Amino acid sequence: MSLQGQNTKNYTRQDTLRGTITADREWWDLTYYHLDIKVDPDAKTISGKNTIQYKVLKEYSTMQIDLQPPLQITRVIQNGDELEVIHDGNAHFIKLNETQSVGSVNAIDVYYKGKPKEAVRAPWDGGFSWEKDNNGKPFIATSCQGIGASIWWPNKDHMYDEVDSMLISVNVPKGLTNVSNGRLRKLEEHDDNTVTSHWFINNPINNYGVNVNIADYVHFSEVYQGEKGPLDMDYYVLRDNLEKAKEHFKDAPKMMKAFEHWFGPYPFYEDGFKLVEVPYLGMEHQSSVTYGNQYKKGYLGKDPSNTGWGLKFDFIIIHESGHEWFANNITYKDVADMWVHEGFTNYSENLFLDYHYGKEASAAYVIGTRKGIKNDKPIIGQYNVNKRGSGDMYPKGGNMLHTLRQLIEDDDKWRRILRGLNKTFYHQTVTSKQIEDYLSAQTGKDLTKFFDQYLRDTRIPTLEYSIDNKKLKFRYTNIVKKFDMPIQVVINDKTQWIFPKADWKTMPVDASDISIVPDFYVRSKKL
Ligand SMILES: [Zn+2]
């Protein structure tokens, strides 16, 4: 999702409990969740339980589970026994009675209820959105990136450990449909005028990817012939928007075509792909990408690049679906490394254009988004306290990757690397460092300083130069130590590589000026 606004604050014990792989987390590995809840649109409450199944990695007796007030854990049961729970803000420490032997697979049932926090400005300040559609019917959705899934259900709210599979059962009043991630396994009608939908996710999923969406939905679908065979693509939209959606969602198979080309097979064939209409802008919920871009091209009708190319596609369909590869397939362990999601997904927007409109269109788009870069704070945030870095992770991340593509100078190789990333880190949580090392290894270039410059520093490399007596003198300023990225310059209409460093270099030229090829995200200063 797009990022707006950031708080600066001192970190608290709660931040550490949330953002650290604590001792009460690291001894157990998530294997399965069954989230089983009732949603009451009139009372704006939820109640139910999450069954948390886990494999014991180390003998230990306390388990940290996260759930944010005002929701309350009412009891925790293991094998019929109620367990003692020590509450510490958003963290809850469960005292297990039984010996947790290494290798065994156990489960607890965490019962909870209450009025979940309402989203203030979904999805950036998320929670539950309780809206109404034009016919006055409930139109409800969850969003929780950053704030955490524990804003609405109890779980291990740290990104490093993804559950292997999950069942989501949601009970709602008859006449409404709940759409969650994965595939609909069963619909159960009850005598009390409610209906329960059971959605099964057959793949690892991160916490913030889990969602419920409740409305008077209508459904249409298509089968996409993809790299791994037929892929079900299902669309859930408000009843009144069906015809509009059938036309507008033609961007979805176009998206699938472009991204399978550049990134490899859609990572969740078993779960299918869905677009689900919601009352907020959108979010990359895994296999149920949520959509609220008002059936407009661009970002709510606007082009983030100001080039016109951004109006060739629906930003939310393309961007949020791009996250299926970078966010849902390859997932950050720590939100400090969120650029792995947003840098690559910002970059995916121009690869969509590249596939359908060509290389020049894509370059114009990504270069056009540079005006949004602030260079205020480094892209990488603070580790272990659930703190993301600068919003520059989007346009600057995209422009860094576009620059890297120039350095590789071989688009087939670049494509193999992007596909290789999705294969090598398939369904994994990663650190930025792992991605950086992979890119260095696969490109055959030591990119250490390149990433330090663009991810860990706010300065943009500047080529200082002068031309005197047919002699070009040049060097880099505003760089981290030993940054020496080659760049292409145009001299007398001829493109050539130069190799600037911190120290001055000279070369003969027969020109009054030079220009840097704009694909490189560097600045120039003629002295
Ligand atoms: Zn995003």
Which residue stretches of 99-222 are H helix? none
The runs of H, that is alpha helices, within 64-213 are: none
Report how far ligand 1's centroid is from the alpha carbon of 1 (Å).
3
The one-digit pLDDT tens for each residue of the chain (527 residues) are 444 444 456 899 999 999 999 999 999 999 999 999 999 999 999 999 999 999 999 999 999 999 999 999 999 999 999 999 999 999 999 999 999 999 999 999 999 999 999 999 999 999 999 999 999 999 999 999 999 999 999 999 999 999 999 999 999 999 999 999 999 999 999 999 999 999 999 999 999 999 999 999 999 999 999 999 999 999 999 999 999 999 999 999 999 999 999 999 999 999 999 999 999 999 999 999 999 999 999 999 999 999 999 999 999 999 999 999 999 999 999 999 999 999 999 999 999 999 999 999 999 999 999 999 999 999 999 999 999 999 999 999 999 999 999 999 999 999 999 999 999 999 999 999 999 999 999 999 999 999 999 999 999 999 999 999 999 999 999 999 999 999 999 999 999 999 999 999 999 999 999 999 999 999 999 99
User: How remote is the CA of residue 152 from the centroid of ligand 1, in Å?
Assistant: 21
Is residue 123 reached through a cis peptide bond, with omega within 30 degrees of 0 on the bond before it?
A: yes
Give yes or no for a cis peptide into 69 (omega within 30° of 0): no
Residues 6+ apart with CB under 8 A from 469: none
Type and span of the H or E element at 81: strand 81-82
The CA 330 to ligand 1 mean position distance, Å, reads 13
CA of residue 339 to ligand 1 center, whole Å: 9
* CA of residue 187 to ligand 1 center, whole Å: 32
The length of the chain in residues reads 527
Residue 384 carries which side chain, given as an amino acid letter?
A: N
3-state secondary structure of 384: coil
DSSP-derived 3-state class of residue 212:
coil
3-state SS class at 400: helix
Cβ pair 377, 389 in contact under 8 A: yes
471 Cα–ligand 1 center, Å: 46
* Residue 281: φ, ψ to 5°: -60, -45
pLDDT in tens, 56-70: 999 999 999 999 999
- pLDDT at residue 5 in the model: 42
The pLDDT, as a whole number, for residue 10 is 82
C-alpha to C-alpha distance for 387 and 384, rounded to whole angstroms: 8
d(CA 342, CA 424): 19
The predicted structure's pLDDT at residue 160: 97
CA distances (Å), 414 to each of 111, 401, 443, in order? 48, 10, 8
Residue 61 C-alpha to ligand 1 middle, in angstroms?
A: 38
Cβ pair 227, 257 in contact under 8 A: no
Token pair 């608290």 is found at 12
Compute the radius of gyration of the chain from its Cα atoms: 25
Identify the CA nearest to 285 among candidates 275, 294, 272: 275
What is the spatial distance between Cα 471 and Cα 524, in angstroms, rounded to a whole number?
17
Name 478's Cβ contacts closer than 8 Å, sequence gap at least 6: 459, 460, 461, 462, 523
**Residue 250 to residue 253: CA distance in whole angstroms:** 6
Could you tell me the distance, in angstroms and rounded to a whole number, from the CA of residue 342 to the centre of ligand 1? Answer: 5
pLDDT at res. 4: 44
Q: Helices 395-408 and 432-443: crossing angle, nearest 10°?
A: 20
Inter-CA distances, 228 with 194, 264, 267, 269, 329, Å: 38, 9, 10, 8, 16
> What is the structure's pLDDT at 9?
60
Give me 441's structure tokens: 């290894």
Q: Alpha-carbon torsion 508, 510, 516, 517, what sign?
A: negative
Distance (Å) from CA 249 to ligand 1 centroid: 19
Distance 302 CA to ligand 1 centre (A): 16
Given this model, what pLDDT does residue 3 score? 44
* pLDDT score recorded for residue 7: 46
Cα 40 to ligand 1 centroid, rounded to whole Å? 30
507 closest CA partner among 497, 521, 517: 497
Q: Distance, CA 320 to ligand 1 centroid (Å)?
A: 6
* Distance in angstroms (rounded) separating the CA atoms of residues 303 and 155: 38
- What does the block give as tokens for 253? 């198979």
